[in-house]
Amino acid sequence: MTDNGNIIRKVCVYCASSEKSNAVYLEAARRLGEILAENSITTVYGGGAIGSMGRLAEGALSKQGKVIGVIPRFMQELEWDHKGLTELQVVENMRERKHIMLTDSDAAVALPGGSGTLEELLEAISLKRLGIYLKPIVMVNTHGFYNSLLALLQRCIDERFMDARHAAMWQVAEDPEDVLMAIRRAPPWAHEARQFATMRPSTSR
């Protein structure tokens, strides 16, 4: 149970497929998978077998955790999918993949990654701003990876492209061990957020 009343059963994790990234990122992915499994939380991710994706799944599976992969058909045809998952859902395209991963979760967590990871994270934030996705969003700031993005988001607020209240849409965990606490401490978010989703003179600060 989170502090905002949500029960954490499934967590969507955005992460990368690069095998060339710093080992600290790969280890953080594996540790997050272990932590989710140790807390009886199902991992929902992109279904890949290598990079942070593979480490995340292997970490969870090593602790007898449940892991659901969601992968587009073309990626499965390229044999990018992990063969040992609890469940693999094959979908037609990237849009369907993102929709299933996010809506079938109690929180979204972004590990460090490339353009795909950033797209998924920012889409989740955008949907939360519009009152469509209401669950916690957590960035795992391993090695200070998300410092620049956090600074850019703050500038969006400072320049009044976003409301100051929008800063509550995401939480930051410095390490995988901090992720569950960040989820639990995420403030409630409601459909009423739509009232200040669009910046108008009356809501500008």
Q: In the prediction, which pLDDT does 198 show?
A: 80
Edge-to-edge, what's the strand order for the sheet holding 42-45?
87-91, 67-72, 42-45, 10-14, 108-110, 137-140, 171-173
Q: In the prediction, which pLDDT does 5 show?
A: 59
Domain spanning 10-195, CATH class = alpha beta
User: pLDDT tens string for the chain (205 positions)?
Assistant: 455 556 899 999 999 999 999 999 999 999 999 999 999 999 999 999 999 999 999 999 999 999 999 999 999 999 999 999 999 999 999 999 999 999 989 999 999 999 999 999 999 999 999 999 999 999 999 999 999 999 999 999 999 999 999 999 999 999 999 999 999 999 999 888 888 878 777 544 4
Please report, for the chain, the start and end positions of each structural domain, with discontinuous segments joined by +.
10-195
**Which are the contacts of 60, defined by CB distance < 8 A and separation ≥ 6?**
33, 34, 36, 37, 43, 66, 67
**CA 22 from chain center: how many Å?**
20
The pTM of this model reads: 0.93
Q: In the prediction, which pLDDT does 205 show?
A: 40
Written as one letter, the residue type at 69 is G
Closest CA to 127 of 102, 93, 153: 102
Q: In the prediction, which pLDDT does 3 show?
A: 54
Residue 154 token pair: 């703050």
Q: What radius of gyration do the chain's Cα atoms show? A: 17
